[in-house]
Amino acid sequence: MEVLIFVAVLFLLLFTGLHIGVALGVSALTILVIFQGTSLNVVAQQTFNSGNSYALAAIPFFILAGDLIMKGGLAKKILELTDIVTHKIQGGTAMGAMLVSVFFAAVSGSSVASAAAVGKNLVQLMGEKGYPKKFVAGLVATGGTLGLLIPPSLSFILIGSMIGIPVIDLFTAGIVPGVMQATMLLIMTWWICRKKGWEIPSAIKESREKVKNRVSSLKSIGSASGVLLLPFLILGGIYLGFFTPTEVSAVAVIYAAFLAVIIYKSIKAKELWGISRDALYQTGMIYLILIGGGLTAYMLKVLGLTSQIVTVVGDWGLTGWQFLIIVNILLLIIGLFLDGVTVIALVAPILFPIATGLGIDPIHFAVIMTMNIEIATLTPPVGLNLFVMSGLTNISIQDVAKGVGPYYVVLFVSLILVTYFPQISLVLLN
């Protein structure tokens, strides 16, 4: 009965336009205080515990680093550099765009930030080379999802802090699936460009033009060298033991600000406050969802629903692989209507105990959940990356989704591979 009341109150509040985090918190508070008689002191303590995590302190810093990269135009430096590597390949600019997306995935930790950082520059550049807006939007939207899988990943930080898994272990588990998925996306991009006959490279015959291109290449390498050090600083700092993931997030902000303000002068010092304020707003929204989700998880625990679900699933006699089929379908459906942070806050406390009870490694399960959230950012009606690219290209959400079309195949195939071959995500840990 209480669960039905919770759902009714939640939908009523969402219908009024209330933020999802506040709606979750108020709905859970209603059940806990009115129907269960829970003390407000206990509720306050649970609210505090939802956000009281050292790992969560990395979130505002990684968001700020991503914003500095995006608004500082640092993506353009990497775009110029990738052109050196890919300009002789058919669809070289598109291949370079995907490589840039992988690069910024290893910097920002956010799917939306990765797409926004490279989107503006790529829409103009690829449009000049004859690529349709629909394809460009789909490519960048898909490439941005790698920000959730390749470390540092805000998704892994959230899961690690909620479930109690070391964040550095989750980062390590995301490397091989991330590289595998990036490789598959590159191959798909090349195949699409070859099939459509886009950007066929022309041979450079005149020696003067060769020299000119060589000089331009050297300038591009020198100009991009500062940005290139950023992922090495982040990942190298973590895995060499110099910094924790939280500490390195602060280092990333300082270095990104140094590049944007001092080296490239693409951001004025007085603009830093506005950029920092925007990052705090984004962080606040994430924390609201975490607090609301934390109260909801506590409510389910008080009602005994979590343990009942675990017991019921155990009585079904499901094997691990059967459970993973159900989970993938469930997460894909939920992802149609909720953003990734909300999905994690709501279902992680319920699904992880069931998964571990069935003998599924929690780190492997975290990678599976993250890959489902990747797909959720690309599925209408609330796919965040679709909205980002729709705004940058001035085309409809439906057209962006059509541009993503071929890449859905890659994302689903990679999800199946990681789901049923756990060593893909666990090999580096083992």
Q: Token digits for 181?
A: 């998925």
Model confidence pLDDT, tens digit, residues 161-199: 888 899 999 999 999 999 999 999 999 999 998 888 887
The closest of 316, 340, 429 to 155, measured between CA atoms, is 340
Model confidence pLDDT, tens digit, residues 117-169: 677 667 777 777 788 889 988 998 898 888 888 888 888 998 998 888 999 99
What's the whole-model pTM score?
A: 0.85
Helix axes 75-86, 207-239, angle to 10 degrees: 120
Model confidence pLDDT, tens digit, residues 214-232: 444 445 555 567 777 888 8
Model confidence pLDDT, tens digit, residues 92-119: 888 888 888 777 777 776 777 667 767 7
Helices (H), 1-39: 2-15, 20-30
Backbone phi and psi for residue 327, each to the nearest 5 degrees, phi listed first: -65, -45
- Which three-class secondary structure state does DSSP give residue 219? helix
- Half-sphere exposure for 12 (CA within 13 Å, toward CB): 9
Between 364 and 2, the higher pLDDT residue: 364
CA distance 89 to 76: 20
Model confidence pLDDT, tens digit, residues 265-291: 888 888 899 989 988 888 888 888 888
- Say what percent of the chain tops pLDDT 90: 19
Q: How confident is the model at residue 202 (pLDDT cuts 50, 70, 90)?
A: low
CA distance 134 to 115: 15
CA distance 425 to 299: 32
Quick one: which H or E segment has residue 83? helix 75-86
Q: Note the Cα 299 to chain centre separation in Å.
A: 28
Per-chain mean pLDDT for the chain: 83
Residue 342, pLDDT > 70, answer: yes
